[in-house]
Chain A
């Protein structure tokens, strides 16, 4: 490390717990002026908690932060900004109904006689846009009318207008086109030469190679290593990022795949709004197909497209070898298709929290448990009892509200709700996120059992272990397309990460 570069900001033994989970465990970080410091780690390694603490969004449980050698603490993002620490968040912090110029000066608009000085604002905005490589964006345009990549440029301009000393970029290039990335890199290099400290979080290894001076790897909330950029090979870096043992929480895989019949589900060349770029896939009865890759590469959109939620999807979906037009969730769950989607956000899309376990379980399966439009109470209780036993849902009584159950049990209710429909095709969107290991294990066993009974399962997971332990095949998505297909023994963490990061090497087959 370059010792001439002065540390502007320093974090010492920072810890943060959410419930029983250590998001950060005694993490250290030193940020120096005039350098680009890359932060690497898997999903859930603690990177986002780290920057949330730096930028005043959450307060640490323990540890201290030093700015220019003075201990500091930030009550809110405004306080961190005032101290010169500015973060460009992955979820955009722009206000959709305000103009570009309004957004750029939002935290500290120029005023004259107590009113906002629109001329001065326009000038500041144009200068900042120019610096951020967005000279073509009109400052009076509403943010919501801009495409995503242009919004990201506005976000960068907004950060620059605050005159940062430490600039944090959290996946700031993920929404950008290749040409925009070039522009942004030029901007970042100039900022570095102006003595600003840059903290760069990205999953894109070649970007880090081009830009970073120092790298720090996080894993499971701990800092694993800090090293000068370029001193380690990609392989070594991936090793540092994984570095943990498998626990065998997964049931053995059995080959029940029906290779004779036409695939239960086949998609050909699905495209939608530049988020899906020609995806084809098949899923056969008895098969668990995983979707891998970095977060946000089109996995969610793919599941929604299959389930008929998206409008204007081009391409073909075939059920049992016959082309079908699935117009929405109602059509998807009908008996002749038999598709179920376990959604990502159980609190909004999966459950009605204030309603009882019984009602939640019955919603999707009304057809199965009613006769002539009247709910058959007996059939309903029988089906609910069966589900509660099958999934070992720990609720004193099916009449208590779902909101009163633990996260793991809520997730079981979501799954049970869809199993009541007796689906042949089960789409799961990151079903084990934020639930405990015990419940995870039960869900894995259930997935295997359902596959053994002849269901075709598509599982999107942000947890690589899960893809390795559960899936017969894994499709790794990158930028809305299938980057690589891994089957059987090819599914290793190394291969998953390497293809997710789009680093091209194939020697990873064990």
Chain B
């Protein structure tokens, strides 16, 4: 049997994002004064991985046909918390990392419980919880900085290069995909997440554990957002409760997810697509610098490229025969 065609169709969104990324990144390095060197790749990778982690966080929730506007704030909270907890001996740092990740899980769990039992729209709930998370971040870290005895060993290891060539952050991302995403995609609960996002009534009628699926999605979202925050701390050696940063990461994560072929209607797409979406989005943003344009043009340019990219995905609307379907 010819299964190849279907395998390809399944990956189409991801492949499109990959193509956009390769194109944008090629343009970027081709015009970069330093060219295609390990250092250029390392810097780009480190910036890209931050957004990629938040985009993966967003993917889990978007797959259930929800949206998580608190990912940026969980990211900030984790960043501020890590600036206190990554101290002392390697064991102390490990405990700190555990603490940050558990906090992320807890934030996600709170979102999940409110969405499931509060029965409010995810967008409303996550705006509210996002404000709460940011409030806590601001409370624990009113001014940017880090704790005395901040240990940078782990940070340096994960933001440096392996064998002097490969960016460690990128390697870490690949490991995460293999250890978390791939098993999730092939697990029963992972399939339930897709089913719920595609058609919640049909999923319920088929005996799919709807609530458990949603809860898992929000928990994983919190976990990945916190991982993003942790990486932010690795790069900056400090924490900062910046509202602007939080909002930018939230909105960029949605852009990255869409660029990566994840349907905002739920049920379609993959975290791998979202990762390429994030990398592409970052590359687009950086493109202006290598072309010596005024940085003021960046938001406009990024917006136009994003519009073009998502228009590709909207082409199917021309096939709709019942105009009422356009609104459903």
Contacts and interface: CB of A to CB of B under 8 A. Distances in A.
A93 B202 contact: yes
Contacts of A386: none
Contacts of A93: 201-202, 205-206
Contacts of B300: none
B324 A349 contact: yes
Nearest to A116: B186
- Chain B residues touching A, majority SS: helix
Interface string B252-289: 00000000000100011000000000000000000000
Nearest to B183: A115
A132 B199 CA distance: 24
B321 A310 contact: yes
B267 A95 contact: yes
Which size class do B's interface residues fall under?
20 to 34
B322 A309 contact: yes
Contacts of B191: 98, 102, 106, 109, 116
Contact of B322 (A107, A109, A142, A311): A311
B204 interface: yes
A288 B46 CA distance: 71
A272 interface: yes
Interface string A69-97: 00000001110010000000100111111
Interface in B1-31: 1-3, 6-7, 9
A346 to B, nearest CB: 14
Contacts of B194: 95, 97-98
A77 B207 contact: yes
Interface centre among A93, A95, A114 (most CB of B within 10 A): A95
A99 interface: yes
B125 interface: no
Which size class do A's interface residues fall under?
35 or more
A116 B183 CA distance: 9
Contacts of A141: 6
Contacts of A77: 204-207
- Chain A residues touching B, majority SS: loop
Interface centre among B194, B202, B203, B268 (most CB of A within 10 A): B202
Contact of A96 (B6, B198, B320, B322): B198
B174 interface: no
B321 A312 contact: yes
A322 B9 CA distance: 47
Given A97-B263, A310-B322, A310-B323, 17 more contacts: A81-B207, A94-B202, A95-B195, A95-B202, A95-B267, A96-B198, A97-B199, A97-B267, A98-B191, A107-B206, A114-B187, A115-B187, A140-B6, A140-B7, A158-B206, A272-B321, A304-B324
Interface of B: 1-3, 6-7, 9, 183, 186-188, 191, 194-195, 197-199, 201-208, 263, 267-268, 320-324
